[in-house]
Amino acid sequence: MDFLLPRLADTLVEATVSRWLKRTGEKVSKGEPLVEVETDKVNSELEAPVEGVLSEILVPEGETAPVGAVLARITEAGEAADTSREAKAPATAAAARGVGRAQSEPSTADRGDVPPSEGGLSTMRRRIAERMQEARATIPQGACVREFDLSKLERKGGWTAYFVKALAMAAGADSIGVAVEVPEGLLVPVVKGATTSSTQEISARVGDLAERARQNRLQPAEVSGGAFTVTNVGGGGALLAFPLVNPGQRGILAPGAVRSDGHCFVTFCYDRRAYDDYAADRLLARVEEELARL
């Protein structure tokens, strides 16, 4: 049977095979991880849909294929290999990849707005660069900054969970993305149920999502649906930053490093189609008020 690249996210058009976990001729079990693929949103392990033998790999490691392309073929248990079909497979797969790429957005090398793969960027970093280019071109970006006094906050654990909870309450948004740095770039898993969860629960959820992000074990549903993003730029010591709003979201909250006196600068970057300057500043003020209640 044909083993196809599924649509892992609504906006996904292609993915890169980063590592095959089985080799040609090896037995596979249904549900067993078969291959790792890399996209801008998530690195995922794809599982074998049936039990059998991995008879042919059509997309080798390092190559990119469009959604729906045949990545490999599996000879199911008790099924004889169709050698005539296998002989035609490489040409068919190559044609599918060519058609898929032509129908999807042009490559970064063709557009010239971000460095091509030869420049050393991973697939994820190239796609992030494309999305940031898209954000600059299509989203009217706005930003405001306030200095928060967190000295009286009785905090347990890291700051991120507190900002996620405060933003969720201030904006009435139940799903908040959290920026997580991984070796290949940056992922934004989404904390669901943020308005009804305690900071301890959010902290545990953030920790779990971050750990699985670094292990390439996030599911597509865990990186979609966020209304806002929290990116803790202060974790690296930065006092202030102005990140771009992710396409499809209303804003991004960027707390800077918390100084010894308990003060920090917090930036709220927003889509001007969602907030004007006054509304954005009021939302940022409500975030500080919500923090004081935690």
Domains of the chain by residue range: 2-104, 140-293
Q: Which residues contact 81 (CB under 8 A, 6 or more apart)?
A: 55, 75
CATH of span 140-293: 3.30.559.10
Q: Is the pLDDT of residue 283 over 60?
A: yes
Q: Is this model's pTM higher than 0.95 or not?
A: no
Which residues, 6+ apart, have CB-to-CB distance to 236 below 8 Å? none
Q: Which CATH architecture has domain 2-104?
A: Beta Barrel (2.40)
Establish whether domains 2-104 and 140-293 are of one fold. no
Q: What is the pLDDT of residues 89-148, one digit of tens each?
A: 443 344 334 433 333 333 333 333 444 444 667 777 877 888 888 889 999 999 999 999
Q: How far is CA 36 from CA 33, 50, 74, in A?
A: 8, 17, 16
Query: Which is higher by pLDDT, 244 or 134?
Result: 244
191-230 pLDDT, tens digit per residue, is 999 999 999 999 999 999 999 988 878 887 888 899 999 9
